[in-house]
Amino acid sequence: MRDLLLSGDGFSIEDVVDVAHRRARVTLGPDLAARMADARAVVTEAVLRKDIVYGVTTGFGALADTTIGAEDLARLQVGIVRSHAAAVGQPLSDEVVRALLLLRARTLAAGHSGVRVELPAMFIALLDADLLPVIPEKGSVGASGDLAQLAHLALPVIGEGRLRAPGDGPQGRPAAEVLAEHGLTPLVLEPKEGLSLINGTEPMQAVLSLAIMEAEALCKLADIACALSVEALFGTDRAYDERVQVIRPHPGQLDSAANLRQLLSQSPLLASHRHSDHAVQDSYALRCAPQVHGSSRDLIAHCRRVAAIELGSIVDNPVVVSGPDGEGFEVMSTGNFHGQPIAFSADALAMACSELGSISERRVYRLLDPATSRGLPPFLAPDAGTNSGFMLAQYTAASVVSENKVLCHPSSVDSIVTSGNQEDHVSMGWHAVRKAREVIDNTRTVLAIELLCAAQGVDLRSPVAGPGPRTSRVHRRIRADVEPMPVDREMAPQIQAVREMLDDLIAEAGELR
């Protein structure tokens, strides 16, 4: 397990994913308190002077014009956390909550929020003990960030809400009880701290970061599955020739074509029919794979660039910044919590991954249809008729591909008014990131089905020749857990088994772009 330092500087997507999956431990930077001290002093002084500062000495949202008396300032901060914890639905997954703890701590530690160091320290203490706030998944419009989710994240900081300790069920237990068991004392919030706990895009950041890493893996899997299908379908690798690819040099296309050339290199199956009549030109699902897979790669790369900026940004409101002359500090209201950049990126990510599944399903269909499979038996069943073979596997692939089309309706073009018309344009970014991860999960299923069918196709070609060195390793890994299917047997466990080995298949394929 590697160590990360919480200094207030941004984290990479890889950092977030490693923390989410318990591959990295986070410790507080030695200079963190000093970094946060100036901004905290600005807030404290504003309260002492009775300045009118949004969220510090005023109400929130549509109540921004309501001034709060000194005797009610502490109650104001607790009240906003309680009242905004209004999310519903199933709890977020452990890995998303771990990522969220890290990212919220990072924002607060950056030195612009005006809070005490005890707040990010509390989040890191929860992370270190793997005590995870129970955060329902629904209830954000991506306006002032993800208010409801962040409020549920914040409740355990003050000893309220629910926490999941290792071994607890999804709904966890009362936070006060869990904190006491682990020797942690709830915090008493001071001015601005409640507001700083709930403003921000970190839930969207967390889900998007995990989704981007998953999407990048899908790109490699799509190339691997396509290569195995090309061999099973007696296809050709001529369309992947570098001379053809460089005359349309989109980066993703070049990478995908290079992967396919490597995967199909020295393939006896391709060599066995290289000079036959049908090796002149393949269908689009094979021939245009670099163009389609590559376009997805380029779009995912854009999403990574957006996420990298977001992971180093300050998304709180209000924030403490330097004065207009570069000297001193002032508290300023901002719109940096608005989720539009993430919403656009997540919608794009969903579309990119959906297309990987869409073209994969077309290759599955070609493997099963004797009119397009170049000599394979119907539905890859040696005794078709008595056996249905992989017929229903294609139904499942078609089903989730169609579901992805619905999920790819963009969230980012929607908006709905909240907070008494104060929040009159919202991003719907939270919807977008959740949909993107669902599309990714569906696409994993489609690619697993293609790999399963292509492996059967390669088995059926074995009297002629075998696959190349790299695809042979992929084929052997599949066959280590899933036997060939000469006679019908239950399909669902086979699909699930391949889904569970997808990471192994990337490793077996060797180094890919």
Q: DSSP readout, 46-72?
A: HHHHT---TTTTB-SGGGTT-B--GGG
Helices (H) and strands (E) in the chain, counts: 20, 9
Residue pLDDT tens, the chain, 513 long:
899 999 999 999 999 999 999 999 999 999 999 999 999 998 888 878 877 777 677 766 656 667 767 667 778 889 999 999 999 999 999 999 999 999 999 999 999 999 999 999 999 999 999 999 999 999 999 988 899 999 999 999 999 999 999 999 999 999 999 999 999 999 999 988 999 999 999 999 999 999 999 999 999 999 999 999 999 999 999 999 999 999 999 999 999 999 999 999 999 999 998 877 666 689 999 999 999 999 999 999 999 999 999 999 999 988 999 888 878 888 888 899 999 999 999 999 999 999 999 999 999 999 999 999 999 999 999 999 999 999 999 999 999 999 999 999 999 999 898 887 878 899 999 999 999 999 999 999 999 999 999 999 999 999 999 999 999 999 999 999 999 999 999 999 999 999 999 999 999 999 999
437, 462 contact by CB (below 8 A)? no
pLDDT score for 399: 98
pLDDT score for 74: 75
164, 134 contact by CB (below 8 A)? yes
User: 330 - beta bridge partners?
Assistant: 321
Angstrom distance (rounded) from CA 134 to CA 105: 17
For residue 332, the number of C-alpha atoms closer than 13 Å in the C-beta half-sphere is 13
Q: Which residue's structure tokens are 């049908």?
A: 278
Comparing CA positions, the residue from 409, 465, 445, 438 lying closest to residue 211 is 438
pLDDT score for 421: 80
SS3 136: strand
Q: Which of 54, 240, 284, 365 is catalytic?
A: 54
Non-local (6+) Cβ contacts of 490 within 8 A are none
DSSP state of 317: S
The answer to pTM > 0.85 is yes
Torsion sign across C-alpha atoms 274, 279, 283, 284: positive
Question: First vs last Cα of the chain: how many Å apart?
Answer: 26
pLDDT score for 333: 86
Angstrom distance (rounded) from CA 1 to CA 329: 39
pLDDT score for 277: 65
Q: Active-site residue 395, yes or no?
A: no
Angstrom distance (rounded) from CA 305 to CA 195: 29
pLDDT score for 53: 73
Residue 171 region by backbone torsions, left for phi larger than 0, else alpha for psi between -120 and 50, else beta: alpha
379, 370 contact by CB (below 8 A)? no
**In terms of C-beta density within 10 A (0-12 exposed, 13-18 middle, 19 or more buried), how is residue 484 classed?**
middle
Q: Which residue's structure tokens are 């949202």?
A: 61
pLDDT score for 10: 96
Burial letters 112-121, b for 16+ CB under 10 A, else e: bbbbbbbbbb
Angstrom distance (rounded) from CA 279 to CA 270: 9
